[in-house]
Structure 1
Amino acid sequence: MTRRPATLTHIGASGEAHMVDVGTKAETERVAVAEGSIVMQAQTLDTIMAGNAKKGDVLATARIAGIMAAKKTHELVPLCHPLLLTKVTVDIDPDEALPGLRVRAMTKVTGQTGVEMEALTAASVACLTIYDMAKALDRGMTITNVRLLEKSGGKSGAWRADGA
């Protein structure tokens, strides 16, 4: 069973949004893993995997974009804290059953707040970059199943999505 907070931490008593004060929280190692998929035509997947996309190396570019996005999450999501990430990885694997690509992002920090949003942002932007680089081949691609798979660290401890 998933534990839910009694109140939303970013909403004040009068309903105003605010950034949560994490100053008194203990610094712990925090890790989050998120995933997303991009479904495409089999021919589009073949072109990407062969390295024949006109815009260049789709996988390398998407990986770099995901890493950069994780580092800029606080600039994109209004109430996120800027974090000194210690590690970000973005792995992209073909899945012919989709057909398409599966993106998995891991973020890590030693700090006072979690890195779930950074992992989700990395996975999302990597998928968006794949779309951008391959849209000339397949405008019907679908970005899907962006979700948090797991997180660890902090007061709430470890959490893992069902089936992850």
Structure 2
Amino acid sequence: MPDGDDDALTHTTADGDAQMVDVGSKPDTARRAVASGDLHLAESTIDAVRDDGIGKGNVLATARVGAIQAVKHTWETIPMCHQIPITNVDTTFDVRDDRVVLEVAVETTGKTGCEMEALEGVTTGLNVVWDMVKAAEKDADGQYPGTAIENVGVDTKEKHHPE
């Protein structure tokens, strides 16, 4: 198991039933999480994204909105996630020669962290990019042989206790 003070699973009862963790007694704390991932695309698709040449519209602007919406709705899609007050979301796209890298930073002040929100923003943002460019990425058989979302993970997680 990963390093940590407590190896117990917190989202299950002693009988193994799913449960939401009670965070009611925890103090409100400023928190920040950053997640990132990348979407591998064909060079011609990358060129079209850079040149705003995708017929569905501005790929990165649309993906940014999708990522932010996903952050705000994480509690609706991940069953044991608490609804938290999102105080800030930053999205950064890096369009490289063979991929689009998305970094999502989420901030909150509350009783629980925001890393799931950052991950949800990354995966949804990259899914939106894929959706926007899928016509350009399909091969003759309608498949996506070189298109892949990879390297999704939490890069940093911070907690600043009140003084």
TM-score normalised by structure 2 residue count: 0.90
Preserved CA contact (<8 Å) 1:114 1:154: no
Counterpart-to-counterpart distance in 2, 1:95 and 1:4 = 39
Which has the higher Rg, Structure 1 or Structure 2?
A: 2
Name the CA shift for 1:43/1:19 in 2 (closer, same or farther; >3 Å).
same
In the TM superposition, 1:49-68 aligns within 5 A as 49-68=50-69
Within-5 A mapping of 1:69-148? 69-96=70-97, 99-139=98-138, 140=144, 141-148=147-154
Moved over 4 A (4+): none
1:3: Cα distance to partner?
A: 2.4
TM-score (norm 1): 0.90
Structure 1 stretches lacking a partner, 5+ long:
156-164
| Cα displacement string for residues 15-74 of structure 1 (whole angstroms, at most 9, x for unaligned residues) | 000010000011110000000100010110000110010000000000110000000000
Paired amino acid for 2:41: M
CA contact (8 A) 1:26 1:154 kept: no
Gaps of 5+ in 2: 139-143
For residues 35 and 118 of structure 2, what CA distance do their matches in structure 1 show? 5
Tell me how far apart the structure 2 counterparts of residues 3 and 95 of structure 1 sit (CA, whole Å): 36
Percentage identity across paired residues of the two chains = 37
**Counterpart secondary structure, 2:93:** strand
Measure the CA separation in 1 of the matches of 2:128 and 2:148.
12
Q: How far apart in 1 are the matches of 2:124 and 2:107?
A: 18
SS in 2 for 1:137: helix
Query: Which residue in the other structure is 1:18 paired with?
Result: 19
Looking at structure 2, the residues matched to 52 and 13 of structure 1 have their Cα atoms a distance apart, in angstroms, of: 55
Is 1:48 aligned to residue 54 of structure 2?
A: no
- Alpha-carbon distance between aligned partners in 2 of 1:129 and 1:145, rounded to the nearest angstrom: 17
State yes or no: 1:28 paired with 2:34: no
- Hey, what's the Cα distance between the residues in 2 that align with 1:131 and 1:121? 15
Tell me the C-alpha RMSD between the 2 structures. 1.3
Equivalent-residue separation in structure 2 for 1:133 and 1:4 (angstroms) = 43
Per-residue deviation at 1:6?
Answer: 1.6
Task: Quote the Cα distance in structure 2 between the aligned partners of 1:5 and 1:68.
Answer: 33
In 2: Cα distance, 1:126 partner to 1:65 partner: 6
Q: Number of aligned pairs? A: 153
